[in-house]
């Protein structure tokens, strides 16, 4: 596993996040795509992973409810896949969620994104549902992970 450096970044790094997004997902998105979503939420998080001082991965999420954090996007550049970058991003995100007193993390993943499905299960997420996305005509698997015991 590669040892990556992960930092939380602000909106001043949105160009970098857009570039990383475009290396992973199609079609590419402009900064407004991210800014609109983040502006709609009180608390949000963006992180960038660097390997040998080169950005190779990112994640973006936000507070869904006071007790629930929604992991919106995670991506790793093709040349850095299968090196543990996504796992380290997930671990950093979970640590941030615990530090910020969230009880639960939630995210959705298209059923055909097998590596992300595997990542979720490996990191202790449970499948809690499936929903159909009429925009993309695909099924999304809904994952949740409890961060605190019910009696805490």
Q: Other CB atoms closer than 10 Å to residue 106's CB: what's the count?
A: 19
pLDDT at residue 19, as a whole number: 95
pLDDT of residue 151: 52
Strand segments, DSSP code E, in the chain are 5-9, 44-51, 54-65, 68-76, 104-110, 126-133, 138-146
pLDDT for 35:
93
Cis amide leading into 27 (omega within 30): yes
Whether the pTM exceeds 0.75: the reply is yes
Domain coordinates of the chain in residue numbers? 5-107
* Exposed / middle / buried, residue 41 (Cβ in 10 Å: 0-12, 13-18, 19+): middle
* Whole-number pLDDT of residue 1: 81
Indicate the CATH number for domain 5-107: 3.40.630.30
DSSP-derived secondary structure letter, 27: S
Cα 81 to Cα 96: distance, rounded to the nearest angstrom = 23
pLDDT of 137 reads 86
Q: How far apart are CA 133 and CA 74, in angstroms?
A: 18
Cα dist from 90 to 33, 47, 53, 112, 135, whole Å: 22, 10, 20, 20, 27
| Mean pLDDT in order along the chain per 10 residues (152 residues) | 92 95 91 92 96 96 96 95 95 97 96 92 96 90 90 52
Q: How many CB atoms lie within 10 A of CB 135?
A: 6
Which residues have CB under 8 Å from 36's CB, separation 6+?
none
Q: How far apart are CA 143 and CA 129, in angstroms?
A: 7
């Amino acid at each position: 596993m590669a040892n990556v450096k992960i930092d939380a970044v602000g909106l001043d790094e949105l160009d970098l996040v857009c570039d990383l997004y475009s290396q992973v997902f199609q079609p590419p998105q402009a900064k407004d795509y991210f800014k609109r979503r983040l502006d709609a939420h009180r608390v949000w998080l963006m992180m960038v992973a660097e390997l040998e001082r080169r950005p190779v991965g990112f994640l973006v999420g936000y507070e869904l409810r006071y007790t629930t954090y929604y992991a919106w996007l995670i991506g790793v550049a093709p040349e850095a896949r299968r090196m543990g970058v996504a796992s380290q991003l997930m671990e950093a995100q979970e640590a941030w969620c615990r530090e910020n007193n969230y009880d639960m993390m939630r995210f959705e993943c298209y059923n055909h994104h097998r590596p992300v499905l595997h990542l979720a299960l490996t990191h202790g997420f449970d499948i809690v549902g499936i929903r159909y996305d009429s925009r993309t005509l695909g099924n999304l698997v809904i994952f949740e992970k409890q961060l605190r015991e019910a009696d805490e």
